Chain A
Amino acid sequence: MTARDRRLRHAIFMRALPVIPFAVLLIVWAAGWEIARPPLITLPSPVEVGQTVRRLWDSGQLQANTSASMYRWVLGFGVGVVSGLLLGVLAGLSPLIARMVEPVVSFFMAISGIVWLPIAIVWFGLGTPTVVFIIWNSVFFLVFANTVLGVRSVAAVLEDGVRTLGASRVHIITRVLIPGALPHILEGLRSGLGFGWRALIAAEIIGASTGLGAMIYQAKEFLRSDVIVTGVIVIAAIGLLLDAGLGLVERRTIERWGLVTEGAGTR
């Protein structure tokens, strides 16, 4: 066997490996369904799920709910990131403020997300504002905390180095601190992304009538497990896509600059 053949075989093997568990799951699911034939309310067959996807797509329900969810997420995430970054950089500049603020931020992170749901419903009622607020809540504190950490952890020596070149304060902030804080900031964004998306779904399940979360919750009322499974798969897929998207950003920036943080190797 030539080296090329070996390489090819190895590459195919490596690609095939991750697919196996999914394939096994699918087979067990289909076979189990054939054997047990549970009613629709309990578990749909893979085929039925496929049909449901088709149906929801054709009726436009899938798109409508997905776009409602995405819209809220973008809003919540966007505002959360911007506010988190701005305040984070400001707070990070002063060691005193950074240290002072830490316990409060930890406390609000402990209750971030759906814990605010009841009070958010009181304030905004059911629907989009509540959901967006919950998302913002989840994202903001995470991004803020990581930004502060990032700014603080930029080695003082980098800052001093540029200062001895006669740089202004603003220059230091924009050209040294922010790029230097980028690994932590991106880490915060990555966490906030997943967190925000999950908070979105949770908020929609309980507090909204449109969106993917609401869709799967309503399906429960009608015992449509096929709709739920479909919704869950879509939710997971979008979550993964968002995460992959940010991974791309990371590759272009911090990984290229060799500023990879611990744990990056596990992605």
Chain B
Amino acid sequence: MRAKIAAGAGDASAGPQLRPRGSVTGSPRGPSRILPLLFVVPFLVIIAAWVLAKSAFGVSDAALPSIGDVIHASSQLIDWGILPYDVAASLYRIALGTALAIVIGVPLGLLLGTSRYGVIMFGPFLRFFRAVSGIAILPLLIIWFGFTETTIQVAILYTALIPIIFSTMVGVRTIPPAYRDAIETMGAGSARLIRDVYLPGALASIVVGIRLGVGYGWRALIAGEMLVGAGGLGFMIFGALQFHALGQIVAGMILIGLLYLVIDRLILAPVEDATVRRWGVQRG
């Protein structure tokens, strides 16, 4: 079990979750060939329970769609072009929001991390705004920007920005001062220092922060889409409520989960591993 558990869905109150702690000590007698496939068991259990709930316990369609309903709804949505559109809209928003958050957050984090009093001065300030989630400011954003794309984008940007600033700041501060001293004594100026020492040194931490930012931003995205109603997966599952299209709702939920997992595990996690492992940067 990797300690990145807290990373995707958890809070950044501790700053970035650094290297995974502990590892699963598998049973020495475990069947090694079957082991990788065992993870399907819980999913099978869930599906079995689902089927059972419908057939044996006769849970009505108004409460729980059947698996067939879900599959049917999915293919319908794809046929009508709704699903691709909503998926694209959501992905676009999270990508844009994250990119902006990186472009703004990393330099800010570098600035604060390298200044002597930066962390002390802005730490509580940032922590306060972290407590104001992107979702809570949505009503305010709606007043300012209306039920528009901008509202959603600002919400995502705001939500993703703070973990990125924090983790950049922390990353810079954990760089051993000897590194900076050594490069300074070779005559390097600030630009050099940033390029050769601060950025690479803080990179592992920054990537962790980006992962967190995407995790939070994704939630702000869904919430924003639910409220603003300008397309996107959040809007899709919320809108389906009106038509009581439960198959659609569940299909949407599964898709949202899968998409996030793909982004987090298949894209961001390998980047994080590559950064840390390649340079053997030890922390903590």
Listed in ascending order, the chain A residues whose CB lies under 8 Å from chain B are: 14, 17-18, 20-22, 25, 41-42, 95-96, 98-119, 121-123, 141-142, 145-146, 148-149, 152-154, 156, 184, 187-188, 190-195, 198, 201-202, 205-206, 213, 216-217, 219-220, 223, 225, 228-229, 231-232, 235-237, 239-240, 243, 261-267
A115-B256 contact, Cβ under 8 Å, with A121-B241, A201-B135: yes
Question: Is there contact, CB below 8 Å, between B9 and A232?
Answer: no
Pick from B37-45, B177-185, B189-197 the stretch touching chain A.
B37-45
A187 to B143, CA, bound (A): 36
Contacts of A228 in B (CB 8 A): 139-140, 143
Interface size (B, Cβ < 8 Å)?
A: 80
Q: Does B144 contact A (CB under 8 A)?
A: yes
Interface centre among B128, B222, B241, B284 (most CB of A within 10 A): B128
- Partner-binding segment picked from B11-19, B49-57, B76-84, B103-111: B11-19
Residue of A nearest to B126 (CB): A21
Measured CA separation A228–B125 after assembly (Å): 20
Q: Is B244 an interface residue (CB 8 A)?
A: yes
9 A-B pairs besides A95-B26, A103-B42 with CB distance below 8 A are A14-B120, A21-B121, A122-B244, A190-B13, A206-B223, A213-B136, A232-B136, A236-B129, A239-B131
Residues in chain B near residue A188, CB distance under 8 A: 5-6, 10
Interchain CB contact (< 8 A) of A266 among B5, B9, B143, B170:
B170
Residues of chain B whose beta carbon lies under 8 Å from any beta carbon of chain A: 1, 3, 5-6, 8-11, 13-19, 21-27, 30, 35, 38-39, 41-43, 46, 62-63, 117, 120-125, 127-129, 131-133, 135-140, 142-144, 166, 170, 219, 222-223, 226-227, 237-238, 240-241, 244, 246, 249-250, 253-254, 256-258, 260-261, 264-265, 283-284
Q: Which 3 A-B pairs have the closest CB atoms?
A: A153-B22, A266-B15, A191-B10
Inter-subunit contact B264/A266 (CB<8 Å): no
Interchain nearest-CB distance for B35 vs A (Å): 7
Bound together, the chains give a CA A149 to CA B124 distance in angstroms of 30
